[in-house]
Amino acid sequence: AQKITQTQPGMFVQEKEAVTLDCTYDTSDPSYGLFWYKQPSSGEMIFLIYQGSYDQQNATEGRYSLNFQKARKSANLVISASQLGDSAMYFCAMREGTTGGFKTIFGAGTRLFVKA
């Protein structure tokens, strides 16, 4: 069964430092996509980064990178040079590409606090 796990309910990081948010997943579908979203206190969902199961390289988008370890079924988000505006909830999500019917499910989220 499709499953996403985020084990860190909350994380603190000092401004300008890097932080890693953990995400593990479980699927039997060989084709899947992994997404990270940011949800600030205003409530909207902001797409950050995507990793496909067949992608050979780890995805990067500006200060965001995804540490994709397929054998371990993990897709951790790394935020470099944290900023105060990074304080938010972060959600990992997975969409199965074939057997799962393309539905997308989310993890429970990690709340990140950036300290000045």
Partner 1 sequence: NAGVTQTPKFRILKIGQSMTLQCTQDMNHNYMYWYRQDPGMGLKLIYYSVGAGITDKGEVPNGYNVSRSTTEDFPLRLELAAPSQTSVYFCASSQRYLSSYNEQFFGPGTRLTVL
Residue number with CB closer to partner 1 (52 or 81): 52
Task: Say if CB 91 and CB 37 are below 8 A apart.
Answer: yes
Among 23, 59, 79, 114, binds partner 1 (CB under 8 A): 59
Task: Say if CB 79 and CB 64 are below 8 A apart.
Answer: yes
Residue number with CB closer to partner 1 (12 or 47): 47
Name the amino acid, one letter, at 94. M
Supply the DSSP symbol for 41.
T
Sorted by sequence, the CB contacts under 8 Å of residue 42 that are 6+ apart come out as: none
Among 25, 76, 77, 109, binds partner 1 (CB under 8 A): 109
Among 30, 99, 101, 115, binds partner 1 (CB under 8 A): 101
Binding of partner 1 at residue 47 (CB under 8 A)? yes
Binding of partner 1 at residue 104 (CB under 8 A)? yes
